[in-house]
Amino acid sequence: MVTTVIRKNADGFDVNFGNLVICEVAGIRCAMEDWRAKQLSVTVVDEEEIPEFFDDLKLVMQFAVAQIYVYPFDKADIKPLGKALSELKALGNVERVDVQHNARALMMWKQGAVFSEQKTIDHFYCDMTEAEIERSRF
């Protein structure tokens, strides 16, 4: 079921995530825009509502001319989901898949292999609190 999702982010601002669906990639559930799920030919799960997902820790499929945002429901799913997304061929080869947090790529995959090892946000920014660093762990 397609749901327009508007939720408050960590800073309290309303963010429109668009028309999202729950889908499965390699047996892992996540959320993404409905038309992107169709383009990628992934399994769409018919549910009444989109559960809470990470909005500040997301997977981004990088293509030459597009980016597809994928929202995980569980931090434990991020690594296997990133690997699986990097192996999809529906739109041609994915250039890479990033885990993004605060506009920084914390980990990357290319064609199923880790291209850039996992980092936390303090690798990029100074004076981060332990709570801010913890939000970037997966």
* Mean pLDDT of all residues in 8-33: 94
* pLDDT surpasses 90 at 89: no
User: Residue 3's pLDDT band (boundaries 50, 70, 90)?
Assistant: confident
pLDDT, residue 11, reads 82
Q: Which of 35-44, 84-93, 104-113 has the lowest mean pLDDT?
A: 84-93
Q: Any idea where the domains of the chain sit in the sequence?
A: 3-135
pLDDT, residue 91, reads 78
* pLDDT surpasses 90 at 121: yes
> pLDDT tens digits for 54-76?
888 999 999 988 899 999 999 99
DSSP collapsed to 3 states, 9-57: CCCCCEEEEEEEEEEEECCEEEEEEHHHHHHHCCEEECCCCCCCCCCCC
* Mean pLDDT of all residues in 82-95: 90
φ, ψ for residue 3, nearest 5 deg: -130, 130
pLDDT, residue 55, reads 84
43 by DSSP, 3-state: which?
A: strand
